[in-house]
């Protein structure tokens, strides 16, 4: 368990965004400003091929995006799914989180809403993404699609000086997914869950498998019942995998992060290496790695040698 945290996020790709968000929290801004900064930094980076501009296309060669935001104080949430050419889906998700109804919109409805509110639009298919799509076999079995080939969903959990907590998530989903496919990311309880009275959790990986266990809600409920975030992450993931074994289901890759209302954080994964980023209460931002070797989870800070050998994001 990592103590004295104010933010935690998934993947090494979130490091720059977290470093940009930390000074905002230091100035005592509301937590949503820091989360939006961290997520938008990833969405705007064309070198990141699983989120926002430059995201990997669906089977038709279109970049379809999903994003969600949840307010831990009010339990309000907003989300968009299967949207095209919205520059920063997380902004629209945050805006929708202020509504009690009609807060989760898809496809053309979400697009028209974003247009009516003046959000920015652009072609989200970068030249590099189009090249990768053109050079990839389209006849692969869609049932065998896997996450993490080029990293995956960005999830950011934060807590501000008022102890208000929230979580934001953004992704382009699985590469060569069927048009209209939606994973766990925009579904609260699965892709994310936030409750300022307890804590927040978020997930990244194969969404269909994450949704089968409502993993983020499961982790938060375990924290509500007294588990620390690290134990909650490991227990929820292990119970989920054991249930899959009992029904002979081969589970896709999954990683989870969590932070409680006291600033303790944890992570768990099915991978041998899952990098994640933590900003502490002194607003210093560091990279960590969760590793699963033989079912045992360990957390460590990578040295330069490890970073040089890492071939992920």
Identify the pLDDT of residue 144: 59
**What's CA 228's distance to the chain center, in Å?**
21
Q: Exposure string (b/e) for 96-114, b if CB count within 10 Å is 16 or more?
A: bbeeeeebbbbbeebbebb
253 closest CA partner among 236, 267, 270: 270
Quick check: 256 and 290 in contact, CB under 8 A? no
Confidence of residue 311 (pLDDT cuts 50, 70, 90): confident
Catalytic member of 153, 171, 270, 279: 153
**What is the mean pLDDT of the segment spanning 288-309?**
94
Average pLDDT, the chain: 94
Q: Does 207 have pLDDT greater than 50? A: yes
Q: Does 196 have pLDDT greater than 70? A: yes
Each residue of 32-91: pLDDT tens digit?
999 999 999 999 999 998 999 999 899 999 999 999 999 999 999 999 999 999 999 999
**By CB neighbour count within 10 A (0-12 exposed, 13-18 middle, 19+ buried), where does 303 fall?**
exposed
Each residue of 110-153: pLDDT tens digit?
999 999 999 999 999 999 999 989 988 776 655 556 554 556 89
Identify the pLDDT of residue 240: 96
Q: What is the pTM of this model?
A: 0.96
**Is 153 considered catalytic here?**
yes
Q: Looking at 77-230, which runs of residues are DSSP E strands?
A: 77-83, 104-106, 154-159, 165-171, 192-195, 199-205
Quick check: 34 and 54 in contact, CB under 8 A? no
**What is the mean pLDDT of the segment spanning 270-298?**
96
| d(C-alpha 291, C-alpha 299), whole Å | 6
**More confident call, 135 vs 96:** 96
Tell me how far apart the 2 most distant CA atoms of the chain are, in Å: 51
Q: Give counts: helices (H), strands (E), the chain.
A: 9, 13
Least confident of 46-50, 137-141, 179-183, 289-293: 137-141
Identify the pLDDT of residue 136: 85
Identify the pLDDT of residue 256: 98
| d(C-alpha 308, C-alpha 302), whole Å | 10
- Which residues are bridge partners to 256 per DSSP? 203, 268
Residues in the chain, total: 313
Each residue of 208-261: pLDDT tens digit?
999 999 999 999 999 999 999 999 999 999 999 999 999 998 888 999 999 999
Per-position DSSP letters for 210-251, written without gaps between them = HHTTTHHHHHHHHHHTT--HHHHHHHHHHHHHHHHHHTT---
* Backbone Cα Rg of the chain: 18
Identify the pLDDT of residue 148: 47
**What's CA 99's distance to the chain center, in Å?**
22
| d(C-alpha 11, C-alpha 107), whole Å | 27
Identify the pLDDT of residue 147: 54
Q: Does 94 have pLDDT greater than 60? A: yes
Q: How many CB atoms lie within 10 A of CB 13?
A: 24
| d(C-alpha 2, C-alpha 75), whole Å | 25
**By CB neighbour count within 10 A (0-12 exposed, 13-18 middle, 19+ buried), where does 301 fall?**
exposed
């Amino acid at each position: 368990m990592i103590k004295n945290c104010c933010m935690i996020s998934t993947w090494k790709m979130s490091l720059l965004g977290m470093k940009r968000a930390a000074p905002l929290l230091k100035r005592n801004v509301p937590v949503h400003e820091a989360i939006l900064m961290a997520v938008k930094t990833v969405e705007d980076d064309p070198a990141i091929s699983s989120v926002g501009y430059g995201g990997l296309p669906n089977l038709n060669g279109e970049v379809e995006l999903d994003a969600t935001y949840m307010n831990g104080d009010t339990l309000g949430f907003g989300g968009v799914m299967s949207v095209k050419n919205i520059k920063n889906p997380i902004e629209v998700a945050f805006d929708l989180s202020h509504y009690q109804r009609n807060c989760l919109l898809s496809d053309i409805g979400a697009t028209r809403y974003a247009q009516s509110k003046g959000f920015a639009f652009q072609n989200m298919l970068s030249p590099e993404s189009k090249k990768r799509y053109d050079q990839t076999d389209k006849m692969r079995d869609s049932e065998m699609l896997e996450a993490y080939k080029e990293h995956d969903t960005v999830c950011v959990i934060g807590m501000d000086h008022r102890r208000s907590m929230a979580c934001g998530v953004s992704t382009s989903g699985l590469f060569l997914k069927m048009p209209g496919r939606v994973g766990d990311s925009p579904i609260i309880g699965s892709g994310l869950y936030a409750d300022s009275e307890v804590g927040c959790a978020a997930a990244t990986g194969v969404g269909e498998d994450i949704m089968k266990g409502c993993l983020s809600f499961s982790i938060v409920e375990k924290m509500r019942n007294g588990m620390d975030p690290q134990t909650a992450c490991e227990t929820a993931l292990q119970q989920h995998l054991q249930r899959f074994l009992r029904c002979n289901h081969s589970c896709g890759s999954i990683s989870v992060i969590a932070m409680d209302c006291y600033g303790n954080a944890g992570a768990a994964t099915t991978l041998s290496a899952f990098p994640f980023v933590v900003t502490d209460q002194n607003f210093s931002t560091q990279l960590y790695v969760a590793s699963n070797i033989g079912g045992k989870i360990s957390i460590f800070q990578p040295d330069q040698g490890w970073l040089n050998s890492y071939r992920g994001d």
